[in-house]
A = this chain, B = another copy of it.
Amino acid sequence: MTASTPQQRKKILVVSAHPEPRSLNASLTAFAVEHLRTAGHEVRVSDLYAMKWKATADADDFPDDVVDGRLEVMAASERATLAGRLSPDVAAEQEKVRWSDAVILQFPMWWFSAPAILKGWIDRVFTCGFGYGPAVPPPYGQGPLAGRRALLSVTVGARETSFSDRGVHGRLADVLHPVQHGLFWFTGMAPLEPFAVYGSNAVPVERFEAARREYARRLDGLFTDEPVPFRSLTGGDYDHDMRLLPGVEAPGTSGPDLHLLPRG
């Protein structure tokens, strides 16, 4: 069976956030698109800088929906979502996410998180009524975007040791936890372990080729690798106040690791 049989032909959205078309990030986006298409998949790209994506959520997003002259972002975003009155740029991105079987976010890590333009894609696209809220299924595992895979592909200026288990910058998984757990898993998407290229300010050819080989392996596993084993909110591990029940974790576990199922 090849990847182009109907069962394995998948739809993938790549969201890319770098201002320079000849950057490492742009190269990795182009590589992913070609690799996935060669494998028989459908790919769409949101190149946020090329699109001049509006980063800032503001009253202009809800021109018909300011109550008594006052903007309540969450309520306004839910009304606009449920009534089909979102701004066209946001509606178009929601359509791409709904269309997809997997979402890849490609970005340079700036100040230990996504560049503002990508944060603004998250802020504006994942509206109340689309990514969360009372009108959609509950978060963490069963959310409205369940059934999709999600992969972060990041470039990092620092060296890998500084993001290792004892590295001063923190473990990469912890630094990216707000997106992995707080965006992907919250909305129902199943995140894979992030893919990272370290020392990204100067990548010699041989290291770039090694990175592409590794990225190819990760892209090949997009629908078959095991996702990060986050706990489901409704799986019996949390109480009604959304706190992990006493004793369900392995002894000595703390912090973000509490929310992982024990491995093995």
Contacts and interface: CB of A to CB of B under 8 A. Distances in A.
A115 to B, nearest CB: 6
A161 B233 CA distance: 14
Contacts of A244: 166-168
Interface in A42-77: 49, 53, 55-59, 70-74
A171 interface: yes
How many copies make up the complex? 2
A93 interface: no
A242 B171 CA distance: 12
A176 B47 CA distance: 28
Interface size class of A (residues with CB under 8 A): 35 or more
A236 to B, nearest CB: 13
Nearest to A160: B241
14 contacts: A20-B72, A22-B70, A55-B116, A57-B115, A110-B123, A111-B183, A140-B168, A158-B242, A161-B241, A165-B254, A168-B244, A170-B182, A174-B174, A174-B255
